[in-house]
Structure 1
Amino acid sequence: MAASPSLANDNKSNVQRTKTSLSHLPYEVKQCIVYWVDRFQKEPHRFGSDSLLDQIAGGINHPGKTESRNNHPLLAPPSAQLTNLLNMHRFFHTTSTTNNDNKPSIRPQCNSILALCLVDRMFYDICRPLIWQTLDLEQFHLSKLRSLRTGGLTRNAEYVRKMSWRISVHELEALWPDLREELGANDEARKGQDWDESSRSTEILAILEMCTKVTSLDLDLRPTELDKQTGEFTIDETETTSKFFYPISRLTQLTSIALTTPLLANNSFTEQFLVRLIRDMSELQSFKCYGTDSVTPDLEGFSWPLPCGSPLGLHLSELTSLKELYLQQSDCFDFTWSKIEWAGNLEKLTFDGCTRNPLRTLHAFCQKFSTSLRYLKLDYLEYEKDVYTTLLEPTRDGPLSEIKSGQYRLDLPELTTLSITTELPIDLLLNFRDCKNIKSIELAMNPSISAEQIRELPCFWPKLEKLKITINTKSDLARCQITALKMTYWGKGIELEIEDEDEQYNSARFGHAYEDDGYDSYDSYHDDDSD
């Protein structure tokens, strides 16, 4: 009888194992890899060392999903083979551990998508829309802008969805201190060819006109008065940003716009100018604006009912898709905004340094969106001690007494993220104690807030997952108290982040990262999947 063949002749296997390379993967698997690497890169704080596969198995939606999870091979709980196929360690590196978790977290390297696009042509085609999705031109000098316009952008402009830029060099220096150091104190350097505002604006405008599918803009404009007869823009040939007025107003497909005036501009935006600029943008979901003068006098103290006379408020109220409103130093927002009907259901509100938004106004406006509001940020509310603690009338207590009485308590069942920066006492925060779904709170510590009050906050919000406090320079919070707070919150399983006010640095007038903790922005990755 012939001997049967053996797989272990001379202790050597006759079976050859082949290792699957990325280039040999099916197209659908490559799509899956790119999708998850991109998710990791955009949302590193949401993914720990083991959370990727947990999220896949647990039910995260995939773009374009039409089938049930169990029937879709890429969305079903992954097998060991698929896990090995993804081979995540090739794209990620571990970071330091946190106090709450001894396991290292996994975060993508900045060039993960770029590395994938170099694997083969198929990966390149999948990655290209992600690579070109956002154009941040703020630090682009003239030569770099010109190279972009005549180079790679000519083949990839159709993939650009978001653009941001600043024309004013002084504005750029405020945002990027490194640029200020590079230019030095010599004003002539600012007027040099590479940073000439007129030349840069011409290049940026040409780039904007190439990107016909852009849906989000973040830019600076120096507004001019509208023509009194026609209501149209007046173009000042000596003003470098005037040339953008009409091109931007014709971008009817925009879903997000953020506007700021240069730091050295003499004028704020007028309501009429803003309404003309966004008049035809019927699909706006996010409107952000820095510095807006009001057309109406301050009538906050009047007790009789008044109609809303704010052109901007009336226009925004008609936008059915509007989800986010960000107003910074905007006097146009007043109590009449809560008197009109709003077609959109606002989910995210930010008020920063608006002098006409006392607590009565904020309370009425926020409560108007009680069924939809998920994120609320109140920064630098006006607080004058004499006004808040003295009797304005013989029969009426001051606003501080009204705060403590619970007169401004809010019932916002959908609210999950709350941020407050003010000199007011902790009572303002406690007016949100009926919002039981709050998961994240950011609070600026002022001298009136004690460590004991911070320690008691989880009692009011049982679902609290994260508390971030910023230590005011005037706060007398001792180091031992900070340590005790950390131990208390660690014991409750709540993340406590403490930041010194002196160490804070706003990298942009709007903070740039619109995707705040605990809130998924609607203009994120998923909105572009259909393109």
Structure 2
Amino acid sequence: MRTREGSSSSECSGHHWPFNYLLCVHFGPITLSFADCFDWGWSQIEWKGALSHINIINSNRSTIRALHSFFILFQDSLRSICISGIPTSSQEEDEAFLNALLSSDLHYKFDLPNLECLTIDSCIPFHFLTLFREAVSIRLLIFEIDTHITLQLLKELMDDQNPIWPNLRHFGFEMHERILTDDEVEELMVYGSRRGVDVVCDYVGRSLEWEPEMEEDGEQLMDEPL
């Protein structure tokens, strides 16, 4: 596990409550990478600080329930979230997970009014994004699409009659293969431009053209007082 400057760091393994209590007294922006210790129990701690930025990377206990329970603790301070590798209960269920969330997960609403940046670096069900519809301040959205996500679904994210995120300004999506044709990508970019949204499409493993600019912007956000 890694944390940014001003926070504690440690190998997050084994019995983790002592480490969690250290974090609850003094912590800053957090990156959890392959951290098996992150689970629903983190939401049961009385955290003493405000968390503004968190990256969760391939943590096999970061279920939707665990993510929701933890994030809501910081609903007034969270401004940036990056999630990669949401687990499924078994490898055989991966395909089903890509199609739709479990019905038991649909009631979770990520009501994070100050969240501005959301990055999802793994193939996920489209409905997972809609769980963030209460995060109305989102202005940057990056995620990886799969064959179950259509051009129409992507347009609906920017619908000018009933936009999910009225403040969305940057919308980037990545593909493993040509899920959308060049004409469809161009159509989506024009559709977004008419609604004040900069749309960028790229292949997984390549940087989106404005990603360095947004990373710098993210660093500035991290340095700003809450």
TM-score (norm 2): 0.82
Contact 1:256 / 1:523 at 8 angstroms: preserved in 2?
Answer: no
Structure 1 unaligned blocks of 5 or more: 1-218, 220-254, 258-283, 297-308, 391-397, 506-510, 527-531
Asked if residue 380 in structure 1 is aligned to residue 85 in structure 2, the reply is yes
Q: Report 1:447-462 matches (<5 A).
A: 447-458=147-158, 459-462=163-166
Q: Report 1:172-211 matches (<5 A).
A: none
The residue type equivalent to 2:138 in the other structure is I
Equivalents in 2 of 1:374, 1:351: separation in Å? 14
In the TM superposition, residue 356 of structure 1 has moved relative to its aligned partner by 1.4
CA RMSD of aligned residues (A): 3.1
Identity %: 25
Asked if residue 294 in structure 1 is aligned to residue 25 in structure 2, the reply is no
Aligned counterpart, 2:17: 310
Aligned counterpart, 1:494: 197
In the TM superposition, residue 329 of structure 1 has moved relative to its aligned partner by 0.9
- Structure with more contact order per residue of length (Cα contacts < 8 Å, sep ≥ 6): 2
Contact 2:101 / 2:125 at 8 angstroms: preserved in 1?
Answer: no
SS in 2 for 1:316: helix
SS in 2 for 1:520: helix
1:141-172 residue CA offsets vs partner (Å, 9 max, x unmatched): xxxxxxxxxxxxxxxxxxxxxxxxxxxxxxxx
The residue type equivalent to 2:104 in the other structure is E
Larger Rg: 1
Equivalents in 2 of 1:477, 1:382: separation in Å? 26
SS in 2 for 1:503: coil
Asked if residue 350 in structure 1 is aligned to residue 69 in structure 2, the reply is no
Distance 1:462 1:429, change over 3 A: same
In the TM superposition, residue 386 of structure 1 has moved relative to its aligned partner by 3.8
Equivalents in 2 of 1:318, 1:504: separation in Å? 36
Contact 1:442 / 1:469 at 8 angstroms: preserved in 2?
Answer: yes
Contact 1:389 / 1:399 at 8 angstroms: preserved in 2?
Answer: no
Distance 1:387 1:311, change over 3 A: farther
In the TM superposition, residue 335 of structure 1 has moved relative to its aligned partner by 1.3
TM-score (norm 1): 0.37
Distance 1:498 1:513, change over 3 A: closer
Equivalents in 1 of 2:132, 2:113: separation in Å? 10
Aligned counterpart, 2:130: 430
Aligned counterpart, 1:467: 171
Equivalents in 2 of 1:523, 1:461: separation in Å? 25
Aligned residue pair count: 214
Distance 1:358 1:498, change over 3 A: same
Structure 2 unaligned blocks of 5 or more: none
Aligned counterpart, 1:228: none
Equivalents in 1 of 2:217, 2:42: separation in Å? 27
Equivalents in 2 of 1:425, 1:340: separation in Å? 29
In the TM superposition, residue 500 of structure 1 has moved relative to its aligned partner by 1.3
Aligned counterpart, 1:332: 37
SS in 1 for 2:220: coil
Contact 1:424 / 1:448 at 8 angstroms: preserved in 2?
Answer: no
Distance 1:323 1:489, change over 3 A: same
